[in-house]
Structure 1
Amino acid sequence: MMITIVVISILAMLFSVAAVPKGITLDSFAHIPGKGYVAVFNIKGEWKSSELWGFVVASRHRQLDMDCHFRDDNKVSCVAYGGIADFEGRVVKLVVYGHAFSVTVPGQN
């Protein structure tokens, strides 16, 4: 009986896979002609589409939408809408699934 429990415990340890913790880091934030302001994030771990909500905190009283999608290269792209160009040269916060990143809104080249 004891040997059976030990064998089952060993097999459970061998075949259990620990989940990689979720992580997200900002890769780039730029104005892309024809698209608008695009933020690219590196992700690790298992993410669901429903977790890819995002927004921009542009000032104390102004929050702008971001539309986020998975890319094929284990990255997420988010396009910011709603007049973010009004904040060119100023610091805003990009927020994706509760993770905040401070960035300076670049010029439209």
Structure 2
Amino acid sequence: MKRVHIAPTLLDAQLVVDALSSLGIVSHIFNANAAGALGEVPFLQAQPEVWVEDDTRECQAREVLVDFLNVKPSAEKICPHCGEHNPGNFLSCWQCGSLLPD
């Protein structure tokens, strides 16, 4: 196993694991329950860590994470059907369900 990421929060670690999993890269979160030990152990030893199971996929996982962690939120999309503002990553309008433009 190889460590590929140290996350600031458990939620961030889970998002990374999910992104890797979607590409078939098996990974695990270590220190998932270590936040309660803050103050007793050094801060850096209590952060959630993402480790890949297959050492040969470490480089691929790191490349994926570079792109995944540097994604900027896209601009808002305005629904052509009802005029509602939607986050840029939505594919359909949250208000009326119509497809949004790319």
TM-score, normalising length from structure 1? Answer: 0.31
Larger radius of gyration between Structure 1 and Structure 2: 1
Task: Give the TM-score normalised by structure 2.
Answer: 0.32
Bigger fraction of residues in helix? 2
